[in-house]
A and B are shown apart, each in its own frame.
With several copies, the nearest count.
Chain A
Amino acid sequence: MKKSAINLSFAFLGGLVLLFIVAPLLGMVFSTPLSTLFSTAQETEVQQSIWLTIWISMASTLVFSILAIPLAYLLARYSFPLKNMVLGIIDLPIVIPHSAAGIALLGFISRDTVIGKAAGAFGFNLIGSPVAIALAMAFVSIPFLINAAREGFASVPVRLEKAALNLGASPARVFFTISLPLAWRSIVTGLVMMFARGMSEFGAVVIVAYHPMVAPVLIFDRFNAFGLKYARPAALLFILVSLVVFITIRLLAVKRKKDA
């Protein structure tokens, strides 16, 4: 099977895709001297913004996953009128122009709104806060998690869930011991996609919070002020750190599943 004609042609086609992805990255690597990369890595501003991006996106992904995963489960299990409409709506944040999303969110959290006032009462201004960044990231990225998790749940046989119910488990226990673990791989992929998409968001974030600077804003800012030469090492650093984070997440997620 390994060496069949179709696998070879698949490997060829797949190789093209990998090339398409890798070549621009390599282009960046080659045009960035190692020394610049190192010195950029030592700037606290850069470190802070990468760190900020990662943790806000991760927090936003985790918090919203508590809402999104149940929704995905319901969508995988039940059909109802206008379900296709709901699915379409869930895809919309992907397509909404990012700055439009930012503007819409701004209307939500600015000082004059209910939410903004509530936050203000606690002496907290949402605009320019990590919360605003997290919301912007979540808005543009949540469909990826919902879709992946939905497909994951859809591929779990209902029969196994019913068998678990028959063994006296409550629906909650069935969800946590059967449905969730069996959909786990897809959910992890969804989480990674949501997390990554959140990290990369610029258009929506820059509207609700230019400061504190997440990495994409920092890179834009450097590009704007000093040009490509200065933006590139920061971007490359951000990409490399992301790569490490992704590999780690996948390793941990797979390991966790094996342990379970």
Chain B
Amino acid sequence: MLKLTNISKRWEGFTLKDITLTVGKGDYFILLGPSGAGKSVLLEVIAGLIAPDGGDITLNDANITHLKIQERDIGLVFQDLALFPHLNVHHNIGYPLYRKGYKSREVNRRVVELAQELGISHLLKRFPPTLSGGEQQRVALARTLALNPSLLLLDEPLSSLDVERKVEIRRLLRDLNRKGQTIVHVTHDYEEAIALGNRIAIINNGAIEQIGSPQEVFGKPTSSFVAGFGGVRNFFKISISKSEDSKFMKARVNENLSFYLQSDDEGNGYAMIPENEIVITHDKPGTETLNTFPGTVIDIYPHRFGCEVVVDIGEKIFAIMASTQLQAIHASIGSKVWVSFQENSTIFIKSS
């Protein structure tokens, strides 16, 4: 459906580098990346608001690289919304409908319908500048949905919404996608990404780092950056080799830190250690695992499942533990503690 080939755009201080990707018909394509990665720029290039310096954009087999904005049939929900301040909510939402030869009653019906779905029916007569952040965001979404484009680009469309609204609108988007709407969606929210996307691209520093299904991307992250997005905080680039003193392989992180893991492979790759597999104790634990390290607590903060503790053992290690447990070992920032984890709790991904 949508195909980008070697799209590039250069500014002083930022370059979009040879972006090549394909979005299939009916895909729910999630674009994940840190702030300043180039996500919004990429969407605006696709929509035609920014002209790329090089590369080609194909939509439904037609080259649209130089097509005018209004002829692309691509809807974009802007990150900064770009609502029309002089039109009330009704006319904002109805804006894309008038030109389609809709009758005014038809337009009315559709606007009311969309407003209902997005929970903004009571705002139809109001003007955008007086709306709350989340209300504005829903108006912007409704307006682009009214366009009913062949490709829908969403730039963080739910960032200002509360949890309930988020869930509702996610459902709306999922339904839309199920009915065949192709969507490219930028988000920072991991849950949103896996709840909605069937394909995920990771973009960092103007370049695509990884593309695949959610399982592929988060199951086998190829950088600590991707791992961090997936919520995996303990992610290391390692090289492993047979160890002489153990049946496990030795994983070398850097000069100061090595640990053991279970693997049949050798060579370079990445290791992930789930946060809840890390055990923190006050005294050195028994020798049931080779992976025991002394360290210093450098941060503690509340977490959904208790507390998150950060320990410096040469690299930062993140652990989740119950608050009661933490109190039991008298750990606070600056405490000396022991960190341990099982050799087989570590996941190894070989570099390709």
Return B12 CB to nearest CB of chain A, in Å: 16
Instruction: Say whether B96 contacts A167, CB under 8 Å.
Output: yes
Q: Total A-B residue pairs with C-beta atoms closer than 8 Å?
A: 58
Interface stretch, picked from B72-80, B197-205, B250-258, is B72-80
Instruction: Say whether B86 contacts A168, CB under 8 Å.
Output: no
Q: How far is the CA of A166 from the CA of B99 in the complex (A)?
A: 13
Residues of A within 8 A of B99 (CB): 168-170, 173
- Contact residue among A4, A164, A167, A173 (Cβ-Cβ distance under 8 Å from B68): A4
Q: Is A182 an interface residue (CB 8 A)?
A: yes
Q: Is A120 an interface residue (CB 8 A)?
A: no
Return A172 CB to nearest CB of chain B, in Å: 10
Residues of A within 8 A of B69 (CB): 1, 162, 165-166
Residues of A within 8 A of B80 (CB): 159
Chain B 141-173 per-residue mask, 1 if CB under 8 angstroms from chain A, else 0: 001100101000000000000000000000000
Q: Is B42 an interface residue (CB 8 A)?
A: no
Instruction: Say whether B82 contacts A160, CB under 8 Å.
Output: yes
Q: Is A178 an interface residue (CB 8 A)?
A: yes
Instruction: Say whether B143 contacts A167, CB under 8 Å.
Output: yes
Residues of B within 8 A of A169 (CB): 70, 95-96, 99
Q: How far is the CA of A182 from the CA of B144 in the complex (A)?
A: 21
Query: Which residue on chain A has the smallest CB distance to residue B78?
Result: A163
Q: How far is the CA of A4 from the CA of B69 in the complex (A)?
A: 11
Q: Is B84 an interface residue (CB 8 A)?
A: yes
Query: Which residue on chain B has the smallest CB distance to residue A3?
Result: B68
Query: Which residue on chain A has the smallest CB distance to residue B91?
Result: A177
Query: Which residue on chain B has the smallest CB distance to residue A174?
Result: B70
- Contact residue among B48, B73, B84, B100 (Cβ-Cβ distance under 8 Å from A164): B84
Q: Is A171 an interface residue (CB 8 A)?
A: yes
Report the contact-size class of chain B (Cβ under 8 Å from the partner).
Answer: 20 to 34
Residues of B within 8 A of A171 (CB): 70
Chain A 63-98 per-residue mask, 1 if CB under 8 angstroms from chain B, else 0: 000000000000000000000000000000000000
Return B71 CB to nearest CB of chain A, in Å: 9
Instruction: Say whether A168 contacts B70, CB under 8 Å.
Output: yes
Q: Is B329 an interface residue (CB 8 A)?
A: no
Interface residues of A in 236-260 (CB under 8 A from B): 257, 260
- Contact residue among A166, A177, A182 (Cβ-Cβ distance under 8 Å from B75): A166
Chain B 122-156 per-residue mask, 1 if CB under 8 angstroms from chain A, else 0: 00000000000000000000011001010000000
Q: Is B47 an interface residue (CB 8 A)?
A: yes
Interface residues of A in 146-180 (CB under 8 A from B): 157, 159-160, 162-171, 173, 177-178
Query: Which residue on chain A has the smallest CB distance to residue B76?
Result: A166
Return B52 CB to nearest CB of chain A, in Å: 16
Residues of A within 8 A of B74 (CB): 166
Q: Is A116 an interface residue (CB 8 A)?
A: no
Q: Is B62 an interface residue (CB 8 A)?
A: no
Q: Is A128 an interface residue (CB 8 A)?
A: no
Q: How far is the CA of A3 from the CA of B70 in the complex (A)?
A: 13
- Contact residue among B47, B68, B96 (Cβ-Cβ distance under 8 Å from A1): B68
Instruction: Say whether A165 contacts B144, CB under 8 Å.
Output: no
Return B251 CB to nearest CB of chain A, in Å: 49
B80, B99, B100 — which one has the most chain A CB atoms within 10 A of its CB? B99
Q: Is B322 an interface residue (CB 8 A)?
A: no
Instruction: Say whether A182 contacts B49, CB under 8 Å.
Output: no
Instruction: Say whether B84 contacts A160, CB under 8 Å.
Output: yes
Q: How far is the CA of A234 from the CA of B68 in the complex (A)?
A: 50
Q: How far is the CA of A58 from the CA of B70 in the complex (A)?
A: 37
Contact A159:B86 (CB < 8 A) given known A167-B147, A171-B70, A173-B99:
no
Q: Is A203 an interface residue (CB 8 A)?
A: no
Instruction: Say whether B49 contacts A167, CB under 8 Å.
Output: no
Return B172 CB to nearest CB of chain A, in Å: 19
Return A66 CB to nearest CB of chain B, in Å: 22
Interface residues of A in 1-46 (CB under 8 A from B): 1, 4
Instruction: Say whether A165 contacts B68, CB under 8 Å.
Output: yes
- Residue pairs across A and B with Cβ atoms less than 8 A apart, 18 shown, are A159-B78, A162-B82, A163-B78, A163-B82, A164-B95, A166-B69, A166-B70, A166-B74, A166-B76, A167-B75, A168-B96, A168-B100, A169-B96, A170-B70, A171-B70, A178-B84, A181-B86, A257-B86
Residues of A within 8 A of B (CB): 1, 4, 157, 159-160, 162-171, 173, 177-178, 181-182, 257, 260
List 13 other contacts, CB 8 Å, given A4-B68, A257-B86, A260-B86: A1-B68, A160-B84, A162-B49, A163-B76, A163-B78, A163-B84, A165-B68, A166-B74, A167-B143, A167-B144, A167-B147, A168-B100, A169-B96
Residues of B within 8 A of A (CB): 47-49, 68-70, 73-76, 78, 80, 82, 84-87, 95-96, 99-100, 143-144, 147, 149
Query: Shortest 10 CB-CB distances between A and B: which pairs?
Result: A163-B82, A167-B96, A165-B69, A165-B70, A162-B49, A181-B86, A168-B96, A166-B76, A159-B82, A167-B95
